[in-house]
Amino acid sequence: MRTPHVGVLALQGDVVEHVHALERAGADVIEVRTPADLERVDALVVPGGESTTVIRLLGRFGLTQPIVERVRGGMPFWGTCMGMIVAAHDVADLEQDTLDLIDVTVRRNAFGRQVDSAEVPLAIPALGDAPFPAVFIRAPWIERTGPAVETLAERDGHGVMVRQGNVLGTSFHPELTGDDRVHAYFLSMMADA
């Protein structure tokens, strides 16, 4: 049996930070830029970046349909910030295309613009008692969750970490912290899949 590979979508954003965190957590990582790259991976992480940019690039480079098919077929998927927006069912008050991989409505820049970006100690019971050093950058929050969606963490009463089966979303950036517990959690989702 070949070693499972975790893909990191490498069209734009903080790709290398995720690659390093996943490698620290014990994964073999492949950067995904083309449909051929996608065929080689067993899970996909979509990093932080600009969602309007990446959703267009996914379409231009023929990745939209293959990703949707693989994730609906059970491939573990984790989106951080931009990645969660891309995966959402829809975006509140904006006409923005998404991949509709998780039954949530997100609100973009919900915690404010860059001057409101913040580091926040976040309670995430699924990761243990120690608060997680969450980095929020022009971050979205979860405005609505469907019945199949579990909210794993909240900030000021708004969902910021959600899971629906094989799909995980975080508003914040564990890849910027050096605390790899969310990366390890995602790898355990992979083991379950």
Partner 1 sequence: MNGQATGTETVKRGLAQMLKGGVIMDVVTPEQAKVAEEAGAVAVMALERIPADIRADGGVARMSHPALIERIMKAVTIPVMAKVRIGHIGEARQLQALGVDYIDESEVLTPADDLYHLDKAGYTVPFVCGARNLGEALRRIAEGAAMIRSKGEAGSGNIVEAVRHMRAIRDGIVELSVAPREELVARSRDLGAPLELVREVAANKKLPVVLFCAGGVSTPADAALMMELGAEGIFVGSGIFKSTDPAAFARAIVDATTHWQDADVVLKAHTSIPEAAKAMDGLDIRQLAEHQLMASRGN
Task: Examine residue 53 and tell whether it contacts partner 1 (CB under 8 A).
Answer: yes
Cα torsion through 141, 178, 31, 25, rounded to 10 = -110
Provide the minimum distance between the beta carbon of 161 and partner 1 in the complex, in angstroms, as a whole number: 17
* CA distance to 63, 66, 67, 69, per residue, from 72 (Å): 14, 10, 8, 5
108 touching partner 1, by CB under 8 A: yes
User: 163: which residues sit within 8 A by CB, 6+ positions away?
Assistant: 149, 150, 152, 169, 189
Instruction: Pick from 24, 39, 40, 60 the residue near partner 1 by CB under 8 A.
Output: 60
Helix or strand or coil: residue 149?
coil
Q: Which of 17, 18, 173, 183 is catalytic?
A: 173
Q: Which stretch binds partner 1 (CB under 8 A): 66-74, 118-126, 145-153, 183-191?
A: 118-126
The SS3 of residue 24 is helix
Catalogue the active-site residues: 81, 173, 175
Interacting residue ranges for partner 1, rule: CB under 8 A: 10-15, 17, 33, 48-50, 52-53, 56-57, 60-61, 81-82, 94, 96, 108-109, 113-121, 135-138, 156, 173, 176-177
